[in-house]
Structures are given as structure tokens and as C-alpha cells.
A and B are shown apart, each in its own frame.
Chain A
Amino acid sequence: MRLEFFLVILLSTLGLDAQNCNLYPENSPCRKACLTLESANKYPQGSKQSMELCTKATSLCPELASAWHSLSVPYLKRGDYYNWRKYLDKAVALDPKTYLGYRGACLFEFLHDYESALSDFKKLDLKKSGHLGFNPNGEYNLRIQKGLCYRELGKVDQAISEIKMAIDEGKAEGGVGTYDYLHLAVCYMSKNQVDSATHYMELQLPQYPNFPDTHYYLGLCALGHGDKIKAKTYFEKAKMLYPQNHRKDPYVIMPDQIFLSDIEKQLRSLN
């Protein structure tokens, strides 16, 4: 069951643009476009050769959403949001079930545009029953990101409700997401509900025992309970684990991510 779960993640993320060109009639413009798009993958993403082949694919078959998506990606990664949206919005219009969630995740991660991201996730929720799919790197059920949008917009109760729903979806599929309990716990921390925050942070611990962020937040929970000695132990553990295990997405700072400076600040306040 767990293997199936990870295969679903892998295919839904890595294979966003992978498609079977044989689905299109032989010699049809869309078959040619699909094959042209495949050939674009031989070149570095964002290179002239790749972009020209992607453009050719959109000319051959304008309804090929994946070609528009492929054109958009390099612009996102280079901070050119005008061109990113110009191309990606075409993919979303052609195939909202596939690309609404992707656009929402990018708006959430790259831009912290929580209102626009939430709007996309809500639209997706109306189109899909149940699981919304995963973010581009496969770490998040999109419903977790939907919940975090609510939290960042000040609607913490709705955030908790969405994240719990996502955790239930994860359990049903054989695996809770790597950071799901942590985000839920941080929601409770923002409501000053330290007992609930501690409860969920302790559930997070076995998901990824060497993750320094969990120990850091458990330290904050201990402070919330007035236990400075326990807090210091957690912060020291977080500091020890940090060099080898800290979160480092190559593109963005991820939600609730902590840095060494956060841990050291807490330790200084306790000394």
C-alpha cells in the first residue's frame, strides 16, 4: 500500500508533462506536437532549443496543455511572473484538473500569494472529489497547502479543518505527509493551544525523527508549558541535528521552515 502511495506521488509530480503520445491519432497535428514536446526534453529547460520546440508544439496543437505548461516553467524559475502566467494560464484553461493545483502550489511556494493560491485550490476542490493531488516536488498534499493559505490569511480554524482532512486522506492512502503534523501543530501554536500543539508535534516526531524543526517547535511548546529545562534540551537537539538534516529546498523557503539563527536565538534567551 505504501509503495502504491509513493508511486502515485512520483507519477503525479515527475510525470506532470509525461504523456503517451499514442493517445493521439497517428499523423495528427497533436501527435506531432506531443512528440515535438518530448524532443524538447533533450535540451536544458529554458534553453533556446527547448523553448523553440515547445513553441512549435503549441503551434501544431494549441489545445496541448502540457506544451503551454512546459513553456511557462522556466519563467517561474527566473522570477518572470508575467510570462509565467501568460503561458501557464493557457494550460490551466485547457486542463484545469491537471494545472489548477500546480498553479496554486507555485503561487503558494514562490510568491506567498495566498489569496490567489486559495482561489485555485477552491476551484480544484469543486472539480475533484476527494484528494486534490500533490505539489510539484511531491512533499505536500495540496489540501495541506490549502489549509496553510487559510492560516496565512488569518482563518486558523479553517486551516486546521483542511489539514486534518488531508491527514485523514493520507492515512487512507497509507502514509501521512512528511510535514503534515508539524503544520497542524503550528496552527495550534498560533492559537496558543499548547497542549494540542504538543500532541501533534509528538505525532510528527516519528515521521522524521532527525528533523531539527520538530525539536525546535517542541522546545517552543515546552516553553509554553513553562518548562525551560525541557525546552533547552529540545533546542540543543535541534541545533545538533541542524547541519545534516535541515530543510533546504533549492528554490524557496518552505512553510514553517526554521533556520539555525532561530534555534540560537532561543538558546541565547535561555542562557
Chain B
Amino acid sequence: MKIYTCIFIILNLLILGSCKKVESKFPENIGDINFDPSLDRKDFNLCDSKNIVQYYSVNTDYKDGRKALYEEIYDKFRFNNDYITQSGILTVRFVVNCEGKTDRFRVMEVDKNYQEKKFSPTFKTYIVDIIKSLSDWIPGEKDGKKYDSYMYITMQIGDGMIKTITP
């Protein structure tokens, strides 16, 4: 009887082991930015950390519109000879919280053929600092409710200069 009990327990353990959940290669939502204490501010508040939506769902905006946002970036950018080797497409993705404050900045970078590349850390820091300095965000809103939302700014960089800003 004892031996049957042992076999039963072992079989159950084997079945449970084989049912162990396989980790998905995808996050809960593509583009999610999780809090990283080494990068992100601890005092950055979110209205609902479980529901950070995309900018286009809630019309996250900038004072005087997106054109004014891009003009502010152009105005703040100063060319430096050290940047002349920098070319490609650099995207800064971040969160605009329900109060219009920003944090959780992350950089994505590709070359002009959309292949992986790395911009120089100095250049990336310089660009991210410009984005961090933008302060006139209008938080996303839908049906009278303000949302935390993901936003991104893409820059085409050519020879260390910003050629275009989108989207």
C-alpha cells in the first residue's frame, strides 16, 4: 500500500512539474516600461500603475500642440562637433503621468536601415536630458478622466544634427 502511495505522489509531482508555466517572451503589453530603481525616480507618482495607456488612446498632448513640442526640442538642441559621427534613428519612450509629469525614460536606437545600432552614450544622455526638460505636457484624458500614458519622440539624426522629429 505504501509503495502505491509513493508512486501516486511521484506521478503527481511529475505532472505538476510538466505543467509549470512557460515564461512568455512578451511583456503584459508591448512597450511596457517597468520601474527600475537604478534609472527611475521613486517620487514619480502614477494614478494607476496597472493601467498606463498609449498616448494615442487618450490624446496626450503638449501645450500649443505637438508642433510646439518639436520646436522646443529644436530650440534646445545645440550642435557639438563631438556628435558629428552620430547618425540613425533615436527614439525616447517615457511616461507622462496623470499630472503631466514625466519619467521612466528609455532609448531605442536603429540605423537608417532599421538595424540595431548604438549611439554614443554622451549623445543619448544629451538627447534624453532635452526630453526630460520638456515641462508643458497635457496628460491624456478620456471621458473626463486623466490617465498615465506612454509617449515617445523619434528623431532622425544625421551627422550629429536632428533632421526630423516625429511622430
Contact = CB atoms under 8 A, between A and B. Distances in A.
Contacts of A109: 167
Given A80-B108, A82-B115, A110 B29 contact: no
B150 interface: yes
A77 B91 contact: no
A251 B31 contact: no
B65 A51 contact: no
A250 interface: yes
Contact of A80 (B31, B67, B164): B31
Given A52-B24, A110-B166, A250-B59, A78 B93 contact: yes
A269 interface: no
B24 A48 contact: yes
A82 B29 contact: no
Interface string A142-180: 000000000000000000000000000000000000000
A79 interface: yes
A260 B68 CA distance: 10
A259 B31 contact: no
B110 A46 contact: no
Interface string B12-50: 000000000000101111110000000000000000000
Interface in A233-255: 248, 250-253
A82 B115 CA distance: 6
A78 B28 contact: no
Interface string A42-67: 00101110011000000000000000
Contacts of B164: 111-112
- How extensive is the interface on chain A, given as a class? 20 to 34
Contacts of A113: 112, 156
A109 B164 CA distance: 12
B154 A46 contact: no
B89 A261 contact: no
A104 to B, nearest CB: 14
Residue of B91, B112, B156 with most chain A CB atoms under a 10 A cut-off: B91
A51 B30 contact: yes
Contacts of B116: 82
A81 interface: yes
A112 B165 CA distance: 8
Contacts of A77: 31, 54, 56
Most chain A beta carbons < 10 A, residue from B26, B59, B65, B66 = B26
B108 A81 contact: yes
A81 B29 contact: no
B95 to A, nearest CB: 12
A262 B65 CA distance: 11
A261 B164 CA distance: 20
A111 B156 contact: yes
A79 B156 contact: no
Contact of B56 (A75, A250, A253, A259): A250
A57 B67 CA distance: 40
Contacts of B110: 81-82, 85
B58 to A, nearest CB: 9
B4 interface: no
Given A52-B24, A259-B67, A78 B154 contact: no
Given A44-B29, A81-B154, 17 more contacts: A48-B24, A48-B27, A51-B26, A75-B30, A77-B31, A78-B30, A79-B154, A82-B108, A110-B166, A111-B167, A250-B59, A252-B166, A252-B167, A253-B67, A253-B167, A259-B64, A260-B65
Interface of A: 44, 46-48, 51-52, 74-75, 77-82, 84-85, 109-113, 248, 250-253, 259-262
26 contacts: A48-B28, A52-B24, A74-B31, A78-B152, A79-B154, A80-B30, A80-B108, A81-B114, A82-B114, A82-B115, A82-B116, A85-B110, A109-B167, A111-B154, A111-B166, A111-B167, A112-B164, A113-B156, A251-B56, A259-B64, A259-B65, A259-B67, A259-B68, A260-B64, A261-B64, A262-B67
Interface of B: 24, 26-31, 54, 56-57, 59, 64-68, 89, 91, 93, 108, 110, 112, 114-116, 150, 152, 154, 156, 164, 166-167
